[in-house]
Amino acid sequence: MLTVSWIVCAAGGSLFGSERELSRVFCQTVEKIKEGMEDNMKETKKYQFWFCTGSQDLYGDECLRKVAAHSREMAEGLNASGNLPYELVWKPTLIDQASIRRTFNEANNDENCAGVITWMHTFSPAKMWIIGLQEYHKPLCHLHTQYNEEIPYDTIDMDFMNENQSAHGDREYGHIVTRMGIERKVIVGYWKNAAVSGKLADWMRTAVGIMESSHVRVCRIGDNMNNVAVTEGDKVEAQVKFGWEIDHYNVNDAVAYVDEVSPGDVEALVEAYYDKYEILPEGRDPQEFREHVAVQARIELGLERFLEAGDYHAIVTHFGMLGGLKQLPGLAIQRLMEKGYGFGAEGDWKTAAMVRLMKIMTQGKKDAKGTSFMEDYTYNFVPGKEGILQAHMLEVCPSISDGPVSIKVQPLSMGNREDPARLVFTSKTGPAVAASLVDLGNRFRLLVNAVDCKKCEKPMPRLPVATAFWTPQPSLEVGAEAWILAGGAHHTAFSYDLTVQQMVDWADAMGIESVVIDKATTIPALKNELRWNAVYYR
């Protein structure tokens, strides 16, 4: 009913001169919306990384010429490998305190520079690195590699040794970084090895997550659900530690944007939905079904405009605080997540920010399988088929879908609004990470579980929500016990496209505790780790 009246209003109003004009504008809007559906990530900067080689002037010009030529060849080779998600920018060899300090400060000031990768081709006395490192405040990686792969047994002499002594020089440099207590990533191996460039690629994504963390802005249009503990947290400390701005609005501030969306825009988006997704009316009247879908289209456009107006990258809702919204945002939130927005339900701003960051960290990844907000729901305890059914009331990101994505309209047992439209699908198989950021009162802990995603054994025709199914490592029994002992939440930020190591590196850079649950986890060792961490992070 709403949709029909909006079309009448638009056609009869002063916005469009004639029916033909309406039709032209409408078609353009549909095209624009379809284009937008392909571009499914909010853009970040065109980040670059600097490749800085250390040496000194003890070895003469001939040696330094070779050092420069080698490091340039390495930077070019790594760029040409096709393995790096961001460009590596070669920098002139650093041979003294002044050049080191200047380069690190230039890196600080270059807004496209997301990190510096250091490598000592020769010996480079580390005292001259102190002031530069003290002043540097971006992600730091130490690539402990070497120009040559093999020792040239037949020709090696002392000139070669002086020129190629990374095993020597990198230890001197590593010592001072450790002594200064600076967090950095160390990657060891031959630079042409795909495993090494793969680790560098992973770290670059983590570094972008570190850089972008300070820009994350979370829009809360619902507070934390009453009496729920694990979604709570210290927002001041989150801004100190992570840089996140976590703002609150009355939900009706956003509703004003939702109400302002033009009927033409709503109808164009509904049309795009009907093109893209399977429609499963399941006995509902087709027109009534479409009207429910149109409510979500209106909410998607209104919320997106509200978020854009406030420059927000993540959103938090609460099914119990919907104000003038006619439905709990379901399909609308699912599509905003697919566009790159973070999301947390029931006021969970920590998970919303993590979902946003993890989406940025995986941005542009070839053959990406998806990143979503997720919730642990129901177990399968059948021996040999153990796992956790993952879902939420509605809000699972379609980027993780496998196979067709359908729209259903079903009642929601909670809240007091009309039946919401939602996208329904099952998810991909394979390894993934589930991360939970919890506030323990005196510190944040990032819990990271390596999980193996599987197909559900059977279809669930009566379950009208998107799902995933996984077995936590090392097993459901140990994984769930470890998760509970470590205080993990029922909400997670989930991705197929990040590794446990990337999440741990991010936590390390943020100066927070991380706890990993994976194949190596045993309960006695985990309990000791938690006890020791409690002392360390006091």
Q: What letter represents residue 234's amino acid?
A: D
How are the residues of the chain apportioned to helix, strand and coil, as percentages rounded to the nearest 5? Answer: 45, 20, 35
Minimum Å distance from CB 231 to Mn ion? 8
Minimum Å distance from CB 392 to Mn ion? 6
Minimum Å distance from CB 302 to Mn ion? 23
The end-to-end CA distance of the chain, in Å, is: 59
Smaller CB separation from Mn ion, 352 or 421: 352
Smaller CB separation from Mn ion, 121 or 392: 392
Q: Locate all alpha helices (DSSP H) within 17-152, ordered by sequence.
A: 19-38, 61-80, 97-109, 130-135
Q: Which residues contact 309 (CB under 8 A, 6 or more apart)?
A: 257
Minimum Å distance from CB 460 to Mn ion? 19
Window 282-321: residues binding Mn ion (CB under 5 A): none
Minimum Å distance from CB 347 to Mn ion? 10
Smaller CB separation from Mn ion, 199 or 491: 491
Q: What letter represents residue 373's amino acid?
A: F
Smaller CB separation from Mn ion, 103 or 327: 327
Smaller CB separation from Mn ion, 118 or 427: 427
Minimum Å distance from CB 395 to Mn ion? 8
Closest CA to 325 of 411, 396, 247, 250: 250
Minimum Å distance from CB 354 to Mn ion? 14
Give the integer Cα–Cα distance in Å for 495 and 431: 9
Chain centroid to Cα 70, Å, comes to 35
Smaller CB separation from Mn ion, 245 or 375: 375
Minimum Å distance from CB 339 to Mn ion? 21
DSSP 439-508: E-SSSEEEEEEEEEE---SS--TT--S--EEEEESS-HHHHHHHHHHTT--SEEEEESS--HHHHHHHHH
Find out whether 36 and 276 touch, Cβ atoms under 8 Å. Answer: no
Q: Compute the radius of gyration of the chain from its Cα atoms.
A: 26
Find out whether 88 and 49 touch, Cβ atoms under 8 Å. Answer: yes
Minimum Å distance from CB 331 to Mn ion? 17
Window 46-65: residues binding Mn ion (CB under 5 A): none
Smaller CB separation from Mn ion, 138 or 392: 392
Question: Is 355 one of the binding residues for Mn ion (CB under 5 A)?
Answer: no
Window 328-347: residues binding Mn ion (CB under 5 A): 345-346
- H/E stretch holding 393: none
Give the integer Cα–Cα distance in Å for 218 and 315: 6
Smaller CB separation from Mn ion, 52 or 374: 374
Minimum Å distance from CB 348 to Mn ion? 7
Find out whether 507 and 466 touch, Cβ atoms under 8 Å. Answer: no
Minimum Å distance from CB 181 to Mn ion? 38
Smaller CB separation from Mn ion, 376 or 513: 376
Smaller CB separation from Mn ion, 85 or 420: 420
Closest CA to 54 of 101, 88, 9, 107: 101
Window 357-386: residues binding Mn ion (CB under 5 A): 375
- Write 518-526 long-range contacts (CB < 8 A, 24+): 518/449, 518/450, 518/473, 518/474, 519/450, 519/473, 519/474, 520/474, 521/473, 521/474, 521/478, 521/479, 521/482, 522/478, 523/478, 523/481, 523/482, 523/485, 526/482, 526/485, 526/486
User: Which conformational region is residue 62 in: left (phi greater than 0), alpha (psi within -120 to 50 degrees), or beta?
Assistant: alpha
Per rule CB under 5 A, count of chain residues that contact Mn ion = 3
Smaller CB separation from Mn ion, 267 or 375: 375
DSSP tag of 1: -
The footprint of Mn ion (CB under 5 A) covers 345-346, 375
